């Protein structure tokens, strides 16, 4: 039926930077500013599974003290299974994929999977420790035309890096991998998880990134392992140290009191994670299975899984009893439901790292004033008063 | 290059794209850009599948829109030229 008139075929939005649209880290801040953001907002509302993090394997050549992956005694998805999953995701509308591990380059079929993803028009981000990158694999990575390659920088010397990564000459090997990629024009971003093992080299890592001319980010969020164990408990920065790091950062942020409808992140709306075993989870932290791809289709899990339905309908301040009454919730930008859930099984609880971050923000905006305790911090203090502080 | 009706456009391998509810979103990862097209441009982008020729795409548009051959051809060729210039498509020649 001929009902419409043909308009001019013009580009309605020129260009917008793509790397600002990372896989939604739980500390991300969101704003709707341009047509692209408007389109992304539409994905959230329509629940389009726009972005996926694929953990292709939990195998790794390093043994980092803070690694949260817990390899299971079951087979990882085969090449054929991953290729089928890619087809299903393309059909469902997924566009941005982050390929992660474990270490992606320990999979012999990595380039088969990644190449098929590009054939299906996915935009790829890669996460690697970079220690296995050779001139040949760097060529093949460059040929994938990734948006960005994220590499962990866990120290600015071999001794520090090795202490975190449980291997030898890791700093030297990572640096070589970074340079091999840069020589081929691949965009690299360095990420540091600050621990008490490497925080003393923080400024050197910043300087190194600046010298290399690459994007750099450090985070202080430390996760429990996927099985809930505090594997890296002793290496976690203290709350005071986290506060000092955040105060040093002094990045700009908005002070905005949340309403009952405010979400603390977009988990469950347009992004997901798939484990090497085919489990779909809402995100990297929130390991509540939505279903397994060996038993159900991607589309049915994304549409019908109870955890996704719950996150879409209930993940707002109205349902966060501690955060709702927090005296400094206007300064909070990083509450993570996954960390809250890992701490005590409460999806709607508070998250101590976010509490420390909110305090740092409060003190940044109110110099000389001591930040109030959050309800969770106050509860923890009462608990320690009654039972003794384990620290 | 001169675009022939028998030429077959293909999404350039440097692009990544999806069409969401009739809206094409095209990413050029290495150049760090995102582009969106209007509904008609988005429809053409979706018809670019590596099998249809320019002529077949124009015929499809004419079946879907109220448009005469001259306008559909002119505006489609302009759009293809823009896509080629921005390295969003390349061409394969139809088998003789």
- A258-293 pLDDT, tens digit per residue, is 999 999 888 999 999 999 999 999 998 899 999 999
Quick one: pLDDT band at residue A19, thresholds 50, 70, 90? Answer: very low
User: Is A254 buried (19+), middle (13-18) or exposed (0-12) by CB count in 10 A?
Assistant: exposed
- Does residue A157 register a pLDDT over 90? yes
Give the pLDDT score at A350: 92
For A349-368, write each residue's pLDDT tens digit. Answer: 998 888 888 888 888 888 88
Give the pLDDT score at B18: 93
Mean pLDDT of A326-354: 89
User: Which among B20, B41, B65 is the nearest to A48, CB-wise?
Assistant: B20
What's the CA angle centered on A382, arms A379 and A386, to 5 degrees? 140
Which helix (H) or strand (E) segment holds residue A161: the answer is: helix A158-165
| Count of Cβ atoms closer than 10 Å to residue A43 Cβ | 21
Give the pLDDT score at A299: 98
| Cβ neighbours of A17 in B, within 8 Å | 32-34
DSSP codes joined into one string, chain B? -PPPTT-EEEE-TT-EEEEETTEEEEEEGGGTEEEEE-HHHHHHHHH-SSSS-HHHHHHHHHHHSB--HHHHHHHHHHHHHHHHHTTSEEEEPPP-
For A39-61, write each residue's pLDDT tens digit. Answer: 778 888 899 999 999 999 999 99
Quick one: pLDDT band at residue B96, thresholds 50, 70, 90? Answer: low
C-alpha distances in Å from residue A180, one per residue of A185, A271, A291: 9, 31, 39
Task: Give me the residue label for tokens 């990862």.
Answer: B29
Candidates A6, A124, A185, partner chain B, best to mutate (most B CBs within 10 A): A6
Quick one: pLDDT band at residue A242, thresholds 50, 70, 90? Answer: confident
Give the pLDDT score at A228: 67
Interface of A with B in 298-357 (CB under 8 A): none
* Pairing mode of beta strands B8-11, B89-92: antiparallel
* Pairing mode of beta strands B33-37, B23-28: antiparallel
For A91-146, write each residue's pLDDT tens digit. Answer: 999 999 999 999 999 999 999 999 999 999 999 999 999 999 999 999 999 999 99
Query: Distance (Å, rounded) from C-alpha B91 to C-alpha B50?
Result: 9
User: What's the predicted TM-score (pTM) here?
Assistant: 0.86
- Going by C-alpha positions, the residue among A215, A221, A169 that lies closest to residue A336 is A221
From B80, which residue of chain A is nearest by alpha-carbon distance? Answer: A9
- Does residue A26 register a pLDDT over 60? no
- Does residue A246 register a pLDDT over 80? no
- Quick check: ipTM above 0.90? no
Are the Cβ atoms of B72 and A6 closer than 8 angstroms?
A: yes
From B27, which residue of chain A is nearest by alpha-carbon distance? Answer: A123
From A91, which residue of chain B is nearest by alpha-carbon distance? Answer: B18
| Cβ neighbours of A36 in B, within 8 Å | 25, 34, 36
Q: How many helices (H) and strands (E) does chain A have?
A: 14, 10
Interface of A with B in 184-203 (CB under 8 A): 185, 187
For B35-89, write each residue's pLDDT tens digit. Answer: 888 888 889 999 999 999 999 999 999 999 888 899 899 989 999 999 999 889 9
Which residue stretches of A54-109 are H helix? 79-92
User: Which among A2, A7, A123 is the nearest to B40, CB-wise?
Assistant: A7
User: Which among A11, A12, A18 is the nearest to B27, CB-wise?
Assistant: A18
| Count of Cβ atoms closer than 10 Å to residue A311 Cβ | 23
Are the Cβ atoms of A95 and B16 closer than 8 angstroms?
A: yes
Q: In this complex, how many residue pairs, one in chain A and one in chain B, have their CB atoms less than 8 Å apart?
A: 116
Query: Distance (Å, rounded) from C-alpha A14 to C-alpha B36?
Result: 8
| Cβ neighbours of B43 in A, within 8 Å | none
Q: What is the CA radius of gyration of chain B?
A: 13
From A48, which residue of chain B is nearest by alpha-carbon distance? Answer: B20
| Arithmetic mean of pLDDT over chain A | 86
% residues pLDDT > 70 (chain A) = 85
Give the pLDDT score at A9: 43
Give the pLDDT score at A356: 84
| Cβ neighbours of A14 in B, within 8 Å | 35
Are the Cβ atoms of B44 and A9 closer than 8 angstroms?
A: yes
């Amino acid at each position: 039926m001929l009902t419409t008139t043909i308009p001019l075929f013009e580009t309605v939005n020129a260009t917008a930077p793509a790397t600002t649209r990372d896989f939604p880290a739980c500390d991300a801040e969101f704003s709707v500013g341009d047509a692209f953001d408007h389109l992304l907002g539409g994905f959230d509302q329509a629940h389009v599974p726009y972005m996926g993090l694929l953990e292709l394997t939990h195998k790794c050549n390093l043994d980092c003290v803070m690694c949260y992956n817990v390899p299971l005694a079951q087979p990882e998805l085969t090449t054929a299974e991953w290729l089928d999953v890619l087809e299903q995701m393309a059909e469902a509308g997924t566009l941005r994929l982050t390929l992660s591990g474990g270490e992606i380059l320990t999979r012999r079929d990595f380039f088969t999977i990644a190449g098929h993803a590009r054939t299906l028009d996915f935009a790829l981000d890669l996460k690697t420790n970079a220690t296995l990158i050779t001139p040949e694999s760097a060529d093949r990575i460059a040929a994938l035309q990734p948006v960005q390659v994220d590499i962990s920088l866990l120290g600015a010397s071999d001794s520090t890096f090795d202490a975190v990564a449980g291997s030898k000459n890791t700093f030297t090997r990572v640096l070589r991998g970074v340079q091999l990629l840069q020589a081929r024009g691949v965009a690299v971003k360095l990420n540091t998880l600050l621990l008490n093992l490497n925080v003393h080299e923080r400024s050197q890592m910043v300087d190194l990134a600046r010298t290399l001319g690459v994007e750099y980010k450090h985070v202080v969020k430390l996760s429990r392992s996927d099985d809930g164990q505090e594997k890296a408990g002793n290496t976690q920065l203290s709350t005071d140290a986290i506060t000092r790091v955040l105060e040093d950062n002094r990045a700009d942020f908005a002070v905005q009191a949340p309403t009952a409808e405010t979400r603390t992140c977009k988990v469950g709306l347009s992004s997901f994670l798939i484990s090497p075993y085919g489990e779909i989870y809402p995100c990297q932290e929130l390991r509540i299975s939505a279903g397994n791809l060996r038993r159900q289709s991607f589309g049915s899990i994304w549409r019908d899984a109870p955890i996704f339905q719950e996150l879409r309908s209930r993940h707002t301040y109205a349902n966060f009893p501690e955060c709702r009454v927090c005296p400094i919730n206007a300064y909070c930008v990083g509450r993570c439901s996954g960390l809250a859930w890992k701490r005590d099984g409460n999806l709607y609880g508070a998250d101590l790292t976010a509490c420390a971050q909110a305090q740092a923000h409060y003190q940044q905006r109110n110099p000389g004033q001591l930040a109030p305790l959050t309800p969770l911090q106050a509860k923890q203090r009462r608990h320690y008063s009654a039972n003794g502080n384990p620290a | 290059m001169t675009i022939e009706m028998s030429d077959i456009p293909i999404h350039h391998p440097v692009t990544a794209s999806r069409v969401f509810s009739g809206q094409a979103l095209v990413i050029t990862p290495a150049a760090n850009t995102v582009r969106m097209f209007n509904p008609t441009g988005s429809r053409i982008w979706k018809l670019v599948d590596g099998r249809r020729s320019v002529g077949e795409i124009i015929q499809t548009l004419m079946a879907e829109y109220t448009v005469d051959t001259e306008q559909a051809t002119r505006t489609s060729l302009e759009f293809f030229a823009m896509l080629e210039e921005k390295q969003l498509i390349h061409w394969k020649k139809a088998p003789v």
